[in-house]
Amino acid sequence: MSSNGTLAVTCPTEPGLRAQDGFNPSFDFSNVLTDPTANWHIIGWLVSAGLCLITWIVSLIGISRHLRNYYDPEIQRHKVRILLYPPVYATLSFVEYLRPDYSTTISFFATLFEALAVYNLYICLQALLEPFYKEANGRKEAYATKVMGIWKLNLKSKWGMHYRIITDIMVFQFPIWSMLDAFISIFAELKGRYCAEVYSVKGAYLWLTVINFGSLSVILTALFTYLAVFGPEYKRGHIPAHGMFWCVKGPIMIIFYVGEILLSLLVTFNVIKGTDGSASHDGTPWTAQAVRFGIYVLLVCVVMTVVSVLMLKYFGIKSTQHRIMDDTIYLDRSNKMTVWQAVVDSLFKFIPELFGNILCCGVDSFRLARKRVEMRGRQQRELQMEGDDGTGHPMFPVTQDEGSQPLNSGPTAEPPYNTYMPSQSNNAYMPYADQRNGQNTYAQPAPSADGYGYPEHKAAYNKL
C-alpha cells in the first residue's frame, strides 16, 4: 500500500464475489460523538440512512394516493412502478455502504430497478399519447423539428410504424443491456476479470463502462427526439412529459457521469486519496477507491431524495386525469379498483408485461423489415419493366407518327374505339391504326377548318 492508502491493484484479481482487499470497516457508534473525525464513515452511514428513510416516506405517500384512487390502470401502473425506483435504488446503495466488499453483487439489483424504471417511463409516455394516436387514425403526417434546438429532424410520418419501431428499439436496448451488464459484471467478478478498482484493458469494468456510455447516449437521443416530435400533443394534453423524463433520466445521468466516470477519474489522477488508517478509530486503512465509493453512495442517496419529492408532482394522481385530451372531463370513477386489485395490476403483472412488450417489439421489427424488403423488391421489378431505355414502362408515351401527339398522353382520356375523325380535305371519315394493338381506333379532333363542327359530324355518324 502506498503512502496515500491506495493498494497496488492489478488485473486480473483474485476470483470471487468479494472484493480483493475484503474491505469491511466496523461501525462502532460509541465514539461517534466524542471523536467524529475518526468515524467519518459512520457519520456518512447515518446520513445515508436518514436520506433513505425520507425517500421511502415520500415515495409511499405518492404510491398510496395512486392505490386508493386507481381509475386509469393503463397509466397508473407505470407511475406506481416508477415511484418505487428512488427508495429501492437508494436502499440498495445504502446496503452497499454497509458491505462494500460485495458491491458488485448488490449493484446488480440496483441496475435492474434502474432499467425497469426507464422501461416504464417510455411505456407511460406512449400510453399518454394513445388518444392522439386514435385521433390521427394512421394518417401520414410529415413533421420537422429541432431536437434540443441543435439538430434538425425530418420525419415522413410521425404516426407511422417506422418511427415508432425505431424508437422502441433505441429505448428497449437500454434496459436489456443494463440487465446483461449486471450479469456480466457478476460473472466477471467470479472469474477475477471485473477489475473495478482500476481502468485496465484486461478488465471488464473498462469495456462495460464504454458500452454503457454508448447505450445511455442512444436512449437519451431517442427520448429527446420523442419529446420533441410529440411535444405539441403533450402540451395540448397538459402532460408534464419533460418533468417525467428528467425525474427518471436525470438521476441516471448524474449517477453515471458524476458518480461513475468523474469520481473514477478523480481517483485515477490521485485527486481522491486514501488513508493509512492512522486517523480512523478502528485503524482500518481506507483506499482511494473506498473513499470514492463512500462519496458515490452519498451522492445516490441525495439525488434519490430530491427526485422522490419531484415525483409527487410529475407522477402524482392529479396528472393522471390529463389522459383525456379535454381536461374538463374527469376520469370515470365507476372504474375504480380496490387497493388489492391495484397492487396486483401495478406490481404482480409487471414481469409478464415486460417480456410481452419486448416480444411485441421484436415481432413489429420483423414486420417492418419484411415490409421494407417487399418495397425494395417492388421497386426493382418496376425498374426491370422499364428496361434499359425505359420504353417498356406502362407510362412511356406512344405516338402515332413522328412528331405527333402521344396517344397515351394526358390529361384527356383515351378515345373509345369506333370513333371517327373527319379529314381536313374532304370531310371523309378516315380510321387510323393504333400502334399499340393494331386495332382500328378512331379519335375525335377539334372542329375542321372548313366550317364543319363536331355536332354536325356526330349527327352524320349516327345516321350510318
**Looking at 1-5, 155-159, 373-377, which range is the least confident one?**
1-5
Cβ neighbours, 10 Å, residue 152: 8
- For position 327, what pLDDT does the model report? 40
Cβ neighbours, 10 Å, residue 337: 18
Task: Return d(Cα 74, Cα 375) in angstroms, integer.
Answer: 35
User: Which helix (H) or strand (E) covers residue 55, if one does?
Assistant: helix 40-68
The phi, psi pair for 336, rounded to 5°, reads -65, 135
Q: 440-441 and 143-147: which strand pairing? A: unpaired
- For position 302, what pLDDT does the model report? 95
What single letter denotes the amino acid at residue 190?
L
488485473: which residue's cell?
11
Give residue-wise pLDDT tens across range 121-157: 999 999 999 888 888 887 888 888 877 667 788 888 8
Instruction: Name the nearest CA neighbour of 365 among 69, 210, 166, 207.
Output: 166
Cβ atoms of 59 and 304 within 8 Å: the answer is no
Task: Return d(Cα 368, Cα 161) in angstroms, integer.
Answer: 8
Q: Residue ranges per domain, the chain?
A: 29-348, 411-464
> Which CATH number describes the domain made up of 29-348?
1.20.1070
Confidence of residue 27 (pLDDT cuts 50, 70, 90): low
Q: What is the pTM of this model?
A: 0.69
Q: Residue 441: is its pLDDT beyond 60?
A: no
Give residue-wise pLDDT tens across range 160-207: 888 888 898 898 888 888 888 888 888 888 888 887 766 777 888 888
Q: What is the 3-state secondary structure (H, E, C) of 430-454?
A: CCEECCCCCCEECCCCCCCCCCCCH
* Paired strand residues for 70: 337
Cβ atoms of 18 and 101 within 8 Å: the answer is yes
Confidence of residue 58 (pLDDT cuts 50, 70, 90): very high
Return the exposure string of 278-290: e unless at least 16 CB atoms fall within 10 Å of the residue's CB, then b. eebbeeebbbbbb
Q: 432-433 and 440-441: which strand pairing? A: antiparallel
